Amino acid sequence: MALQHLSTRINLTAMLGAIIGDIVGSRFEFSKQTTSDFELFTSDCNFTDDTICTVAIADAILHNQPYGETLHAWCRRYPTPMGGYGDKFSLWVESENPQPYGSSGNGSAMRVSPIGWLFDDYHDVLREAEKSAVVSHNHPDGINGAQCVATLIYWLRTCRITKDEIESAVRRNFGYHLTSLRDIYKIGSEGHFDGLCNETVPYAISCFMESQSFEDAIRTAVAAGGDTDTKAAICGSIAESYYEIPEEMVEKAYSYLPDEMLDVITLFHEKIQNGL
């Protein structure tokens, strides 16, 4: 059910959109998944780097800690997640003194959703998204991807934009031209791995645009192939600011997560209810 008629959404599943997309997409990363008819949660699924990094960003905001240090600490606690970390991000995690490495990869966009939920001013959202990106992904495209996803979440949850306005808004504000679902599926079926913000972010937005529900958005993003878990995480993080997440999907996702992640999510939802 779309909720754009409400003035502002109070969402006690916030941030789970990214996590659910990550878990559902996890078993299809590096495969050529091209159908949306699959079982959502199986024993082959798990959370991956997208969930770890998303929880880390939320944790940093909640405890007013630097994004880089918090992200580094969380990734070090999970050094070998399913699917691993990207090659250069692995070196960043392993480093004793991690420095930004000019990345324009999609990692800045997949972890940013807590910022879209917790900040209530457009300029704060842009600034915090940039701050969360530049600790590793300080290429302008990496920053832009994070800002676009956080802003879309903020716009949709506060009903500042309708779904019909998204295509022109992301083109105008972030320079993204949405790709038809048919072309995205063709790219995915050819085995291309969309690892850059400039690919994954507009693809994920396009998958959301074509969706009829939260579950449909996740299925559409996973079936597009390529970087399935990250594309579904980004698509899911946008979709949850527009649709309700079915309760059974929330409960299934929780069953994959360790207690320390659940603690952050619980605190995050309390903050959304009470304000930062």
Q: Is 48 in the site for Mg ion (CB under 5 A)?
A: yes
Residue whose CB is less far from Mg ion, 83 or 236: 83
Collapse the DSSP code of 101 into the 3-class scheme (helix H, G, I; strand E, B; otherwise coil) and give the result. Answer: coil
Q: Is the dihedral of CA 216, 218, 224, 225 positive or negative?
A: negative
What's the chain's length in residues? 276
Q: Is 229 in the site for Mg ion (CB under 5 A)?
A: yes
Collapse the DSSP code of 243 into the 3-class scheme (helix H, G, I; strand E, B; otherwise coil) and give the result. Answer: strand
48 bridge partner residues: 82
Residue whose CB is less far from Mg ion, 11 or 103: 103
Q: Is 199 in the site for Mg ion (CB under 5 A)?
A: no
Q: How far is the CB of 8 from Mg ion (least distance, A)?
A: 31
Q: Is 54 in the site for Mg ion (CB under 5 A)?
A: no
Looking at this protein, which amino acid is placed at residue 49? Answer: D
Q: Is 194 in the site for Mg ion (CB under 5 A)?
A: no
Q: How far is the CB of 54 from Mg ion (least distance, A)?
A: 10
Task: Centre a 10 Å sphere on the Cβ of residue 151 and count the other Cβ atoms it contains.
Answer: 23
The CB-side HSE value for 30 (13 A sphere, CA atoms) comes to: 6
Q: Is 50 in the site for Mg ion (CB under 5 A)?
A: yes
Q: How far is the CB of 105 from Mg ion (least distance, A)?
A: 11
Known binding-site residues equal: 48-50, 227, 229-230
Q: Which residues lie near Mg ion (CB under 5 A)?
A: 48-50, 83, 229
